[in-house]
Chain A
């Protein structure tokens, strides 16, 4: 037992702390991929599996990826170390940003800057929505479902749980039927 080659819990926490405090948006997945493969914690196929499960289950992708990798190398304690590494630095950073916000938000220059930033964030979200919609273009049924969800939530304020059960359910049923037809 003196030759435990598994990574230590602090090294897992630190690896994900480094990623979570320096990478943004889509760059996070690439950073995790690069780090875990370079450290020999996972191979490419292992990472693809991790990515797939991280994308399906609820929770931020970066956090789910970190949890999966931590658990793979050190079990549940490894997952806890990865959780702390992936969540504590962003929490501290966002609190600092929040403290500054509450101190200076009434300043007209800061308020102007924040409005500009918010407009930019809307642009990013529209860009993201367009990219995701482009991936759905394979079938009319998917686009109709997408539009029905967007309109029902925006204008009728349908609760999220109902949206997932109803529109998510229709989507899953449709995909199930399509897959079965494809097999025959």
Chain B
């Protein structure tokens, strides 16, 4: 009981921090989430982390909803409770900031600080996205087929109108045939 309560509190605290630090739509939090969920607490393996991230991209809504799956895996006795705690911790703190900021924003809106902060944070966020690529890539097999799929999807994402979920599903079909 105490062990599982500890676990829930770790989930709550970990995802609440990620929530508050999730600037740029949460794109930059993946490396830290991996460090916490895989390296520090061993809630999931590197491969599971990558597959959960993939499911997050595959389902509608925010990608970071895959926090629910990490919570699910982290609490084997009560997976639904773990999933709910991780999800609430992931979404409630940033939402509270968003709602609480409303009054302040009207005043802040006219000031040049709005553009300075969003423009100023952008390079760090984009650097974190590149680091996310590195993080996620650690969870796929070292295989020519997997790298080729990633490369083709990169090109198709930039140069075709195919939707993200469709590209993931097509990649899955290649995987069923060639990555078993």
Contacts and interface: CB of A to CB of B under 8 A. Distances in A.
B140 A89 contact: no
Given A149-B123, A149-B127, A172-B116, A95 B175 contact: no
Interface residues of B, number: 109
A63 B92 CA distance: 10
A36 to B, nearest CB: 16
A151 B140 CA distance: 20
A90 B65 contact: yes
B175 A121 contact: no
A40 interface: no
Interface in A48-96: 49, 52-64, 67-68, 71, 76, 79, 83, 86-87, 89-91, 93-95
Given A71-B99, A179-B112, A145 B123 contact: yes
| Chief secondary structure at chain A's binding surface | helix
B21 A59 contact: no
A136 B32 contact: no
Nearest to A105: B51
Interface residues of A, number: 93
Contacts, number: 352
Contact of A124 (B114, B130, B153): B153
Contacts of A54: 98
B170 interface: yes
Contacts of A49: 109
B60 A89 contact: yes
Given A21-B61, A150-B130, A171-B123, A57 B55 contact: no
Contact of A56 (B55, B118, B133): B118
A62 B27 CA distance: 13
Contacts of A157: 31, 35
Interface string B82-117: 011001000101110111011001000100101111
Contacts of A123: 149-154, 156-157, 167, 171
A98 B72 contact: yes
B59 A93 contact: yes
Contacts of B21: 58, 160-161, 164
A12 B113 CA distance: 31
Nearest to A108: B180
A119 B178 CA distance: 12
B61 A112 contact: no
A-B CB proximity, top 3 nearest = A116-B175, A149-B127, A123-B153
13 contacts: A25-B57, A59-B25, A112-B177, A120-B153, A136-B126, A143-B123, A149-B124, A149-B127, A150-B130, A153-B127, A157-B35, A159-B32, A179-B112
